[in-house]
Each structure stands twice: as structure tokens, then as C-alpha cells.
Amino acid sequence: MGTRYRGTREEVNALNTFIKLMRAADSLTSRLSPVLSSTRLTMSQFGALEVLFHLGPVCQGELGRKLLRSGGNITMVVDNLERRGLVRRERGEDRRFITVQLTREGRKLIQKIFPKHLAALIGEMRILTESEQKTLGRLCKKLGKGLDGEVQTGQTGAAHPKGGKK
């Protein structure tokens, strides 16, 4: 179901596209969440573990940028993972930077659930051909970057409708 808004063709098209994008993302996320539910991980927590598993220890701010999360949100995600013994934080010489890394328990958990998550994701993506997956990936990246060519995270101010910053 699309928008019931009666505006210009450009407005209706933008709203309908946004609705379809958000519904598809929410639907896919809900179908993938059973893999994570048995682990009591949120998608953000899983994402954090996955980043740390594939990249190794990273600065907490960088982890937030990779997951497109605000500083406050990534702090809460890492707090909850740390409380469960899945990650630990370390301050370096420059005390402004906190490095987050997997614990042994965190590594064991992500090694166990990542293959299951990936298999479920592949199953969901099979509805699209390889070419369609690549096209969707390109379009999502383009949309994510916006007119100024940088991924918007909401951390540096809202993007202006014409592509600049407010």
C-alpha cells in the first residue's frame, strides 16, 4: 500500500519509494530476527559483534559510524554487550579514545551465529537475481550517500533537502 498523500508526482513518488524501502527493510529484518532471538541479541548488538569479528578491535566512535548509530546509542549497545561479557573496552594513551574488542565468549558466540545468520540472509536474497542484488546494493549506497556523496549518520546535523547541511 502506498501513500494516500495527494501532492505533486515528485512528492508521491518519493513517499511511495520511501514506504516500500522501509517496509522491505522491516520485513527482512523481522524474518532474520529468529536467528538472533535465541541469543538475546538485538540487530545492533549483532552488528557490533560482526564488525569486531571481521575487523578486529575498533574505536567505539568508529564502531558507531560503521553501524550508523549515534554516540549515545553505540554506548548503550556496547554497555549491554560488555555486561554480558561479550566485549571489553580499553582506553589507550589518548584517553579520549576507547577501543572495543571481542572477549573469548563474544568470539565464540559470533562464530556460532554468523553462519546461521548468513545462511538465512542468502535464503532471503534468493528472491533477487545476482544482477538485481548488485543493482539494489548500488542504489542503496547511492541513496545512503545522498547528494553530498557522504553517508549520513545523523551525528553531524541533518542533511538539507538540496544536499547541503543546515
Question: Of how many residues is the chain composed?
Answer: 166
Cβ 86 vs Cβ 106: under 8 Å: yes
**CATH number of the domain to which 52 belongs:** 1.10.10.10
* C-alpha distance across the termini of the chain, in Å: 32
Instruction: Check residue 163 and report its DSSP letter.
Output: S
Domain presence at residue 158: no
Spatial separation of the C-alpha atoms in residues 145 and 100, rounded to whole Å: 26
Spatial separation of the C-alpha atoms in residues 82 and 98, rounded to whole Å: 13
Choose between 2 and 82: higher pLDDT: 82
pLDDT at 13: 93
Give the SS3 label for residue 124.
helix
Domain presence at residue 3: no
Domain presence at residue 151: no
Domain presence at residue 148: no
What pTM does this model have?
0.78
φ, ψ dihedrals at 125, nearest 5°: -75, -15
Domain presence at residue 43: yes
Domain presence at residue 156: no
pLDDT tens digits along 8-27: 999 999 999 999 999 999 99
Domain presence at residue 48: yes
Full domain range(s) for residue 126: 9-142
pLDDT tens digits along 102-142: 999 999 999 999 999 999 999 999 999 999 999 999 999 99
Number of domains in the chain: 1
Place of cell 545476482: 130
Domain presence at residue 154: no
